[in-house]
């Protein structure tokens, strides 16, 4: 094998190495981009799931709060009605008391 052939083989080998290196670098960039895309998709999916879970928990808490509020308002309404009824029952006694006190004051 002559010098020219050896140099030609070296140059051919170097060119093959350059091509393989370039292909490997392109493959690395492609894989890296795909990895980033996959990571972003997973992050977005996790955030979406977390958001849905939080919204569901918030809605559930709001429903419990609304129910408790409704119960408390109903209890308050019943107490108010009971107090009103009790006060109405005592109106005649109160009138009698006021008249008695007025007559006592007038007689004095």
pLDDT digits (tens, 9 = 90+) for 34-51: 999 999 999 999 999 999
19 domain-assigned = yes
Is residue 26 in a domain?
A: yes
Beta strands per DSSP E along 1-108: none
Q: Is residue 103 part of a domain?
A: no
Q: Tell me if 57 is assigned to some domain.
A: yes
| Calpha distance 17→55 (Å, rounded) | 56
Collapse the DSSP code of 94 into the 3-class scheme (helix H, G, I; strand E, B; otherwise coil) and give the result. helix
pLDDT, tens digit, for every residue of 29-38?
999 999 999 9
Is the residue at 29 inside a domain? yes
Q: Is residue 101 part of a domain?
A: no
Would 44 be classed as within a structural domain? yes
Q: How far apart are CA 99 and CA 102, in angstroms?
A: 5
Asked, for residue 24, whether it belongs to a domain, the answer is: yes
Instruction: Provide the pLDDT for residue 108.
Output: 65
- Please state the domain count of the chain: 1
């Amino acid at each position: 094998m002559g010098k020219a052939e050896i140099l030609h083989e070296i140059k051919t080998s170097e060119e093959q190495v350059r091509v393989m290196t370039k292909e490997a670098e392109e493959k690395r960039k492609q894989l890296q981009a795909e990895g980033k895309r996959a990571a972003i998709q997973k992050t977005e999916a996790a955030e979406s799931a977390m958001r849905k879970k939080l919204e569901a928990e918030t809605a559930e808490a709001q429903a419990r709060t609304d129910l408790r509020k409704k119960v408390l308002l109903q209890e308050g309404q019943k107490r108010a009605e009971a107090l009103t009824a009790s006060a109405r029952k005592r109106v005649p006694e109160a009138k009698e008391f006021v008249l008695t006190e007025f007559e006592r004051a007038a007689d004095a």
